Structure 1
Amino acid sequence: MKFGEHIKQLREQNHLLQRQLANALDMDTAMLSKIERGERRAKREHIPILASVLKTNEKDLCTIWMADQVYNLIKEENNASEILKVANENFKSN
């Protein structure tokens, strides 16, 4: 699941309106709507606020956010799977 979809799902589970969550993030509702639709990216500094307001684990939320960042970086590459495989091998060797 992509980050924006996950945020929307958590927001709805917590019975929050977009304007309520947007206010907590100090952004307008239109920006939050774009984040939920995947048209814009949330900033890293939003993660702790989102985790607190949406009552979810910050580490898990950060993992989904970071995975989305990686996906957006390499999604157009023909060898995206190979790139991820090499990156994973680098992590294992370090």
Structure 2
Amino acid sequence: MQFGEKIKRLREEKYLLQRQIAASLDIDAPMYSKIERGERKAKRVHVISLARLLDVSEDELLTIWLSDKIIEDVGDETTALAALKRAEQELKRSIKS
């Protein structure tokens, strides 16, 4: 899971403790620790708050977070890449509309 690794690295670069981040997110420290380890999924609202707390772009963190969710959902499917390519085409069409 890339999201947990990314927020851990950013947190450590800022010399912040897990309990400090957890308090800012209004969750307990063990839950935050599980998010960093990839054992729990962060909520979208937490991702946005983390971007502000860790001074990183929301788009960057949301992209990594969403990518992890997609991989978890389709990663073990043999046709995952084909499905993702089709989804990409559909998204591009819907954005143009």
User: Under a length normalisation based on structure 2, what TM-score does the superposition of the two structures give?
Assistant: 0.88
Q: Which residue of 2 aligns with 1:84?
A: 84
Bigger CA drift: 68-77 or 2-11? 68-77
Q: Which residue of 1 aligns with 2:18?
A: 18
AA aligned to 1:19 is R
The secondary structure found in structure 1 opposite 2:27 is coil
Q: Which residue of 2 aligns with 1:52?
A: 52
AA aligned to 1:76 is D
After superposition, give the CA deviation of every residue in 1:17-49 in whole Å (9 maximum; x if it has no partner): 111111111111111111111111000111221
Within 2, Cα distance between the matches of 1:35 and 1:41? 6
Within 2, Cα distance between the matches of 1:55 and 1:20? 15
Hey, which of these two has a bigger chunk of helix by percent? 2
AA aligned to 1:89 is Q
- Tell me how far 1:71 sits from its aligned partner: 1.1
Count of aligned residue pairs for this structure pair:
94
Q: Any runs of at least 4 consecutive aligned residues in structure 1 with deviations exceeding 6 A, and if so which?
A: none
User: Under a length normalisation based on structure 1, what TM-score does the superposition of the two structures give?
Assistant: 0.91
After superposition, give the CA deviation of every residue in 1:67-91 in whole Å (9 maximum; x if it has no partner): 1111111112121111111111212
Instruction: Could you tell me which runs of 5 or more consecutive residues in structure 1 were left unpaired when the two chains were aligned.
Output: none
Within 2, Cα distance between the matches of 1:41 and 1:64? 12
Within 1, Cα distance between the matches of 2:92 and 2:43? 28
Instruction: Could you tell me which runs of 5 or more consecutive residues in structure 2 were left unpaired when the two chains were aligned.
Output: none
